[in-house]
Chains A and B, each alone.
Chain A
Amino acid sequence: MNSLTFNGHGVWAIYKFEMARALRTVWQSIVTPVITTALYFVVFGSAIGSRMTEIDGVPYGAFIVPGLIMLSLFTQSIFNASFGIYFPKFTGTIYELLSAPVSPLEIVIAYVGAAATKSAVLGLIILATAALFVPLRILHPIEMLAFLILISTTFSLFGFIIGIWADGFEQLQMIPMLVVTPLTFLGGSFYSIDMLPPVWRTITLFNPVVYLISGFRWTFYGSGDVGIGVSLAATLGFLFVCLAVVSWIFRTGYRLKN
């Protein structure tokens, strides 16, 4: 047998396995987030939103759509990727992955690729759901898709790191619940940070999620809290931090090998 240079069959096997897992748990991976998001639209979009003024010329119900999609992308990307790699560690089936001729890069491509695919698809489903409740327009559809994929990939990488780091189910939940969700709520999902008092506005600018949501909102309505260039730079910066951590994990075998 020839020596492999890229184990495409291996990557495909893991990718298919992870996608099959999502289809088996369709309630958990698709239906639940869609229902949750639909509830936000009913409450904030229709019920409260009708009494709110427009923000930057966008009706409130439509204004929150990019932020809500981001919220789902963050939590689902982290959840999918962290669970995907944590579960084999938990059950012990990771022995097979560690003994297989797959490189760290291939493992990351397969797990993160599958998790990112799932959350990007979920993002589009939520977008379609939103269109049922509020009038939507998307000024930059190509950039919107690109942002969707970029964010899904970045947060799936982040989730992958959490999955490797986690020693129990509690730790697995901790970062998404205690860090990502609050930062997203405070990062302008439901309001423009221009609406905040100046002091809080400055503090909010330290929240990295602001840049992600702002960038995504720009692809919809052509305006955001910060410039699109800044948003893109922040997103790419986070992506590279995650990549650096992942490569460190595989170089040292951290929490994977004794």
Chain B
Amino acid sequence: MAPVIEITGLTKTYKSGLQALKPIDLTIGKGEIFALLGPNGAGKTTLISITCGIVTPTAGTVTADGHDIQKDYRAARSKIGLVPQELTTDAFETVLATVSFSRGLFGRAPNPAFIEQLLRDLSLWDKRNDKLRTLSGGMKRRVMIAKALSHEPDILFLDEPTAGVDVELRRDMWNLVRGLRDKGVTIILTTHYIEEAEEMADRVGVILKGELILVEQTATLMKKLGKKTLTLNLQEPLAAVPPELAEWSPTLKAEGNELEYVFDSNLEKTGVPSLLRRLSDLGIAFKDLHTSQSSLEDIFVSLVHKDRAGDRTGAAA
């Protein structure tokens, strides 16, 4: 796959002294859907903002389709469309006017037929003469996408496209992204949601505290992240884990009142039914049970720990 975005040694330290990005190297291929995962404040938006020209990098280079984003910013930026995280629109403009404005701003000659098709695809055509301030949040989000696509970019950045979006719009958004990919558009999106990355992305990058700690094919990552925890609230507290349960290696929590079992939800045999059968054979009764997926943040933390532990073993060896 030919690279379309190449990031080399990119760092950003804000004037406040906050180091938002540690040296980042990342290559994104043409036509790829790349998801950038990470908790709030991890540096996702900074990375996107630098690539789009809104924030000046401290060091390093970024190229878009071979054009340096600083030296050759005209060529680079005309390839890129950006849907920012926040809904910022000109309240008094109409949908059609604001989308046409964006096309012109990005140096494209007017093309009413293209704009009409774009607005129809985003279910905005009926609202084309409405003022933006009269639109709902979901509709505004659609307008921002239309603005970003108005100049027919080859690369689209979606910064948390589905934050605070209803189910229908989320589904529309996913369809839109797939449709764009079929046309050869490269898409980079950020998200908090693992499911979203799983559903849409070819590849996932995990960013934490300004560090790109992992870049992986989605399928591979999902296997790693598919751990779930089963928690049983016991009727009677246990002093120790009975040896009969050793093959599941559960742990006791809350002074023996809770039994926890971590399993891989991707496996055919999770071990949950057999564990419950064994418990009933042993006469261990429970009041309640629930399963939970570790939060993304927990997973990040565990990834980082693993990373550090790996470094140490590496050093020891």
The answer to whether A99 touches B88 (Cβ under 8 A) is no
Say yes or no for A14: interface residue by CB 8 A criterion.
yes
A258-B78 contact in complex given A4-B107, A13-B104, C-beta closer than 8 Å: no
Q: Which residues of A contact B102 (CB under 8 A)?
A: 13, 96
The answer to whether A258 touches B15 (Cβ under 8 A) is yes
Separation of A103 and B102 alpha carbons in the complex (Å): 15
Q: Taking the nearest CB of chain B, how far is it from the CB of A100, in angstroms?
A: 5
Separation of A9 and B107 alpha carbons in the complex (Å): 5
Interface-side segment among A87-95, A131-139, A197-205, A228-236: A87-95
List 17 A–B pairs whose Cβ atoms lie within 8 Å, in order of A's numbering: A4-B74, A9-B109, A10-B106, A10-B107, A12-B104, A13-B105, A91-B88, A91-B90, A93-B88, A97-B105, A99-B52, A99-B80, A101-B78, A101-B106, A101-B107, A253-B56, A258-B56
Q: Which residue of A1, A8, A16, A97 has the most chain B CB atoms within 10 A of its CB atom? A: A1
Interface of chain A residues 20 through 41 with chain B (CB within 8 A): 20-21, 24
Interface of chain A residues 69 through 111 with chain B (CB within 8 A): 91-93, 95-103
Q: Taking the nearest CB of chain B, how far is it from the CB of A66, in angstroms?
A: 35
Separation of A102 and B77 alpha carbons in the complex (Å): 9
Q: Taking the nearest CB of chain B, how far is it from the CB of A85, in angstroms?
A: 14
Separation of A234 and B112 alpha carbons in the complex (Å): 47
The answer to whether A92 touches B86 (Cβ under 8 A) is yes
Tell me the nearest residue of chain A to B12, going by C-beta.
Answer: A258
Q: Which residues of B contact A257 (CB under 8 A)?
A: 54-56
A258-B55 contact in complex given A3-B75, A99-B82, C-beta closer than 8 Å: yes
Q: Which residues of A contact B77 (CB under 8 A)?
A: 99-101
Other A-B pairs beyond A13-B101, A100-B77, 12, CB < 8 Å: A3-B74, A4-B78, A16-B104, A17-B93, A92-B84, A95-B82, A98-B53, A99-B52, A99-B54, A99-B80, A101-B106, A253-B56
Say yes or no for A7: interface residue by CB 8 A criterion.
yes
Q: Which residues of A contact B90 (CB under 8 A)?
A: 91, 93
Residues of B in contact, count (CB < 8 Å)? 37
A95-B88 contact in complex given A17-B101, A20-B97, C-beta closer than 8 Å: yes
Say yes or no for B114: interface residue by CB 8 A criterion.
no
**A residues whose Cβ falls under 8 Å from a Cβ of B:** 1, 3-4, 7-10, 12-14, 16-17, 20-21, 24, 91-93, 95-103, 253, 257-258
Closest 3 CB pairs of A and B: A13-B104, A92-B88, A101-B77
Q: Taking the nearest CB of chain A, how far is it from the CB of B159, in angstroms?
A: 10
Residue in contact with B105 in the complex, picked from A3, A20, A24, A102, CB distance below 8 Å: A102
Separation of A257 and B57 alpha carbons in the complex (Å): 10
Interface of chain B residues 91 through 117 with chain A (CB within 8 A): 91-93, 97, 100-110
Separation of A97 and B101 alpha carbons in the complex (Å): 11
**B residues whose Cβ falls under 8 Å from a Cβ of A:** 14-15, 52-56, 72-78, 80, 82, 84, 86, 88-93, 97, 100-110, 147
Q: Which residues of B contact A24 (CB under 8 A)?
A: 92
The answer to whether A14 touches B105 (Cβ under 8 A) is yes
Tell me the nearest residue of chain A to B84, going by C-beta.
Answer: A95
Tell me the nearest residue of chain B to A20, going by C-beta.
Answer: B97
The answer to whether B78 touches A1 (Cβ under 8 A) is yes
Separation of A13 and B102 alpha carbons in the complex (Å): 8
Tell me the nearest residue of chain B to A5, going by C-beta.
Answer: B74
Q: Which residues of A contact B106 (CB under 8 A)?
A: 9-10, 100-101
Tell me the nearest residue of chain B to A10, going by C-beta.
Answer: B105
Separation of A14 and B54 alpha carbons in the complex (Å): 18
The answer to whether A9 touches B55 (Cβ under 8 A) is no
Residue in contact with A96 in the complex, picked from B56, B105, B110, CB distance below 8 Å: B105
Q: Which residues of A contact B97 (CB under 8 A)?
A: 20
Q: Which residues of B contact A96 (CB under 8 A)?
A: 82, 102, 105, 147
The answer to whether B101 touches A7 (Cβ under 8 A) is no
Q: Which residue of B14, B90, B91, B97 has the most chain A CB atoms within 10 A of its CB atom? A: B90
Q: Taking the nearest CB of chain A, how far is it from the CB of B54, in angstroms?
A: 5
Separation of A228 and B147 alpha carbons in the complex (Å): 49
Q: Which residue of A12, A91, A97, A100 has the most chain B CB atoms within 10 A of its CB atom? A: A100
The answer to whether B73 touches A101 (Cβ under 8 A) is yes
Tell me the nearest residue of chain B to A13, going by C-beta.
Answer: B104
Tell me the nearest residue of chain A to B91, going by C-beta.
Answer: A91
Separation of A12 and B106 alpha carbons in the complex (Å): 11
Q: Which residues of B contact A10 (CB under 8 A)?
A: 104-107
Q: Which residues of B contact A102 (CB under 8 A)?
A: 105, 107
Q: Which residues of A contact B92 (CB under 8 A)?
A: 21, 24
Tell me the nearest residue of chain A to B15, going by C-beta.
Answer: A258
